[in-house]
Amino acid sequence: MTVARPDEVRRFNRSSLLRLLHTGGPATRAALAVELGLNRSTIKMLVDGLAEAGLVQEKVPRQARGAGRPSLLVLPQPQAAVVLAVYVQAEHAGIALVGFGGQILGRNSWNLHGRQRDPDEVITHVAESAAMLAGDLGLHPVAAGVSVPGVVRRNDGLVHNAANLSWGEVALGERMTAVLNVPVTVGNDAEFGALAEHLRGAGRGGGDAVFVSADVGVGGGLIAQGSLLRGSAGYLGEIGHMTVRPGGRVCHCGNEGCWETEVGDAALCRALGLPEHVPRGAIVAELRALQEDCAELGEYLDWLTLGLVNVVNILGPELIVLGDLFTALPDAAVTRVREQVRRRSMVSRALGGVRIEKSRLGADLKLLGAAEAAFEGVLGVL
């Protein structure tokens, strides 16, 4: 139980204001006052403080509405607080420097083959690449977020298991902190995807959402009552290992008929008559060439539907965002899944229909999510 003291109120208001500018973008003093429920003089005092610290600039808006003096526009200054965002995937890795307000200020990425996928190599390459990028741009990141496709303990960034990287028990949080010299938050990629969708994507402003994505694996992240769920000790996101087909194919996790084995990229290849694990481009091309009825995808979509019905019945979200490989599904296929889920889920029927949408944050999703995880610890202390 935390107890607010009078001397904490100002700091709380300041970080609320920073968070609002960071996720909402430029806004007038008047709008900020309304949004935070503060009076104009308090807002003035807080904004003046932020301007003095170089975190915001103020401008007279171009188009002033109404009579009277126009309310000043407050703009977050991206360079004033910068974090390092990192993602690691089976085939490649990348970094970006992301500024206050969420803008990507610079980036770099590279392929991972064979030995390059070893944790040692990845850590070294990230550190070198980050130092070079920061030097080139003259920026100094104050925190880092690292997205990994695996089971991650959020408390300390231990990667318990990342099957698609062949990593097990890697103390990634500790080791990254040592080489980067800033606080590091390591998380599961789908969990960070959920965070990005919640703050900057389809889930913006909403309370309860589930983000589900397919690549080699299938993962998920949950937003409940406006916050990212973490599970106990920070483990979460193994939604891909929900059993949907008892007695089905054996999964690398040791169980049978996991959702991942039925709707991951290998399953999609099988449905499309492609060899398993062809490059992503070939899968996408094949999906684009499908007829309107998507007949080839029939059974694949049934398994996708079944897993989503379970997610809706268990969690009752208002929104499901489909990410990564799922975004390449034809719209007709998504429409069919949406209708089936609405019809077959009790909870969706009670809600009057859950929203199911493709992610529109594109390739930057993982970087944006990792950046937001890093900013979580930063905005309160700027």
Site for a second copy in 46-85 (CB under 8 A): none
Q: Is 95 exposed, middle or buried (0-12, 13-18, 19+ CB in 10 A)?
A: buried
The residue whose two tokens read 């070939």 is: 282
Indicate the helix (H) or strand (E) that contains 104: strand 104-111
* Total residues interacting with a second copy, rule: CB under 8 A: 65
Please identify which residue in 3, 67, 289, 295 interacts with a second copy, judged by CB under 8 A: 3
Q: Choose between 158 and 328: whose C-beta lies nearer to a second copy.
A: 158
Please identify which residue in 26, 30, 31, 36 interacts with a second copy, judged by CB under 8 A: 36
Binding-residue pattern over the window 102 to 141 for a second copy, x denoting contact by CB under 8 A: ----------------------------------------
Binding region for a second copy (CB under 8 A) out of 32-40, 127-135, 270-278, 288-296:
32-40
Binding region for a second copy (CB under 8 A) out of 52-60, 306-314, 324-332, 362-370:
306-314
Binding region for a second copy (CB under 8 A) out of 88-96, 115-123, 232-240, 360-368:
232-240
Backbone angles phi, psi at 356, to 5 degrees: -130, 120
Binding region for a second copy (CB under 8 A) out of 77-85, 115-123, 133-141, 253-261:
253-261
Structure tokens, 202? 């389809």
Closest listed residue to residue 167, CA positions, set 112, 206, 218 = 112
Indicate the helix (H) or strand (E) that contains 95: strand 92-99
Residue 20 near a second copy by CB under 8 A: yes
Helix axes 29-36, 6-24, angle to 10 degrees: 120
* Rounded alpha-carbon distances, angstroms, from residue 27 to 22, 76, 372: 11, 9, 20
- Give the integer Cα–Cα distance in Å for 141 and 29: 28
Residue 344 near a second copy by CB under 8 A: yes
- Give the integer Cα–Cα distance in Å for 373 and 232: 18
Q: How far is the CB of 382 from a second copy (least distance, A)?
A: 17
Q: Choose between 162 and 328: whose C-beta lies nearer to a second copy.
A: 162
Q: Strand 56-59 vs strand 73-76: parallel, antiparallel, or unpaired?
A: antiparallel
C-beta separation of 217 from 260 below 8 A = yes
- Give the integer Cα–Cα distance in Å for 215 and 208: 24
Residue 313 near a second copy by CB under 8 A: yes
Binding region for a second copy (CB under 8 A) out of 1-9, 60-68, 75-83, 324-332:
1-9
- Give the integer Cα–Cα distance in Å for 227 and 284: 33
Q: Choose between 14 and 366: whose C-beta lies nearer to a second copy.
A: 14
Structure tokens, 212? 């589900």
Q: How far is the CB of 54 from a second copy (least distance, A)?
A: 24
Residue 232 near a second copy by CB under 8 A: yes
C-beta separation of 240 from 219 below 8 A = yes
DSSP secondary structure of 316-363: --SEEEEEEGGGGS-HHHHHHHHHHHHHH-HHHHHHT--EEEE--SGG
Q: How far is the CB of 272 from a second copy (least distance, A)?
A: 22
Please identify which residue in 96, 146, 202, 242 interacts with a second copy, judged by CB under 8 A: 242
Please identify which residue in 56, 83, 244, 374 interacts with a second copy, judged by CB under 8 A: 244
C-beta separation of 142 from 83 below 8 A = yes
Please identify which residue in 38, 75, 274, 285 interacts with a second copy, judged by CB under 8 A: 38
Binding-residue pattern over the window 145 to 174 for a second copy, x denoting contact by CB under 8 A: ------x-x------xx-------------
Please identify which residue in 29, 117, 175, 241 interacts with a second copy, judged by CB under 8 A: 241
Three-class SS of residue 235?
Answer: coil
- Residues at the contact surface with a second copy, assessed by CB under 8 A: 1-6, 8-9, 12-13, 16, 19-20, 35-38, 151, 153, 160-161, 206-208, 220, 224-225, 227, 229-233, 235-239, 241-246, 253-255, 306, 309-311, 313-319, 344-347, 349-351
